[in-house]
Amino acid sequence: MCCGKFFDLVSNPLLCFCVSPRITSPNKLAIAEMAAPCWPSDTELNAMRERVSKMAKVNKEDVRVVVSPYRICPLGAHIDHQGGTVSAMTINKGILLGFTPSGSSQVVIHSGQFQGEVKFRVDEIQEPRQTTKTKHENSGKDSSELQEQCYWGRYARGAVYALQSRGHNLSKGIIGYICGSEGLDSSGLSSSAAVGIAYLLALEHANNLVISPPENIEYDRLIENEYLGLKNGIMDQSAILLSSNDCLMCMNCKTKEYKLIHRPEVQEYKESEQPKATKILLALSGLKQALTNNPGYNKRVSECQEAARILLEASGDYETEPILSNVPPEVYEAHKCKLEPHLAKRAEHYFSENMRVSKGVEAWGMGKLKDFGILIAASGRSSIQNYECGSEPLIQLYEILLRAPGVLGARFSGAGFRGCCIAIVEAHLAAEAASFVGREYLKVQPELASQISKDTAVLICESGDCARVI
């Protein structure tokens, strides 16, 4: 069941809110108390407002909170950077950023996960990370400033960079406190995109900027691609900014068109043998490493582009941008024999994953969740065999999830080099499945498993809503 037709983010930017016959709000990014899932709770929001009010010495009523959820990608793994079609949904976990305008150009941010203080001015010109001076050239700067800029403070600076690069002259900073859902740092759930979007929304609110979701998708891409130097696509940002509770978001990353698909209501299942309710499992591996420190991700993006170039040139096309979405399927079939084995695998993953997304969207809309799960599992296998990502612990975790009771399908989350695996599980078996996964993973990876809190080793989640300011 489709929640409206495809929306074109480029030619119709003002139509880019979450459209559904069950949602009446015309602007999902408006400041509003929304009827959201159980996250964030009133307790979490009150604690955030209390902390920021003390930091800034303002009334709690003057503190706003950005809710920026994490996302999962059931189908469409590793193809957004090639202009492929992806599916995604947010979950009821993510980033909270409490903030209030600072009354000057000063930005002051504290973190629940990291030590230190981010402090800079919004009228400072921000330079991309890869073009900043070396440590030796900056030897006159305070070492704490260098350390802050290199680590968690770069996202706040990156948000200012993105807004500046598109002609927004910021004059008002923020005082804020940012934290993520416990235990999910470096989990592969798009935490970096959620952080970037949180800072964008806070700075835009403080400076009275009205920015549409597609513009913020582009701004967060600037943070990731230009400021941080990561060659990822736009799936993470799009999911966080466009999702709607209990919907599957499907997006063509080449045309920027998207749609939201509801599952049928429970009563519509009738006598079907399909599961009537599902949950989302997040199973953490214990592996943590930033993408920009791992050459595997950027290398595979380059390999996809090289495969596209060879296929296009084999068909006589020397002009078209070499990304796989620009290669017609018939050209791929005719010339794939010309690819080196590793490039052939990357192309096979792209074209087969696009097909799985198409079939998966149809299965989701018809309530065929068993079929949907089978496609997710196939996506996981292709990520391992064709995209060749995933370390031994993640592969083991993926295989354990597929054996767990009630699990319909599983795959890596994120790039597959660290973080977690996700699974769709029948709701009434979710707790049993979580216990099974925790026990079995401890057997094969006792050292990594022992580093994870038992409370967060395997989380049972639900779908969430899009990013918003409360």
Residue type, 425: V
Burial, 8: exposed, middle or buried (Cβ in 10 Å; 0-12, 13-18, 19+)?
middle
Give a three-class secondary structure readout of the chain: CECCCCEECCCCHHHCCCCECCECCCCCCCCCCCCCCCCCCHHHHHHHHHHHHHHHCCCHHHCEEEEEEEEECCCCCCCHHHCCEEEEEEEEEEEEEEEEECCCCEEEEEECCCCCCEEEECCCCCCCHHHCCCCCCCCCCCHHHHHHHHCCCHHHHHHHHHHHHCCCCCCCCEEEEEEECCCCCCCCCCHHHHHHHHHHHHHHHHCCCCCCHHHHHHHHHHHHHHHCCCCCCCHHHHHHHHCCCCEEEEEECCCCEEEEEECCCHHHHCCCCCCCCEEEEEEECCCCCCHHHCHHHHHHHHHHHHHHHHHHHHCCCCCCCCCHHHCCHHHHHHHHHHCCHHHHHHHHHHHHHHHHHHHHHHHHHCCCHHHHHHHHHHHHHHHHHCCCCCCHHHHHHHHHHHHCCCEEEEEECCCCCCCEEEEEEEHHHHHHHHHHHHHHHHHHCHHHHHCCCCCCCEEEECECCCCEEC
| Active-site residue flag, 236 | yes
Token pair, residue 92, equals 């009821």
* Rounded-to-integer distance, Cα 117 and Cα 111, Å: 8
Q: Please identify which of the residues 42, 142, 185, 236 carries the catalytic annotation.
A: 236
Please choose, from the candidates 64, 317, 38, the residue with its C-alpha nearest in 3D space to the C-alpha of residue 201. 64
Token pair, residue 31, equals 């400041």
Preceding amide of 74 cis, omega within 30: no
* Rounded-to-integer distance, Cα 461 and Cα 470, Å: 22
* Rounded-to-integer distance, Cα 132 and Cα 154, Å: 12
Please choose, from the candidates 185, 335, 32, the residue with its C-alpha nearest in 3D space to the C-alpha of residue 17. 32
Burial, 425: exposed, middle or buried (Cβ in 10 Å; 0-12, 13-18, 19+)?
buried
Residues annotated as catalytic are 236
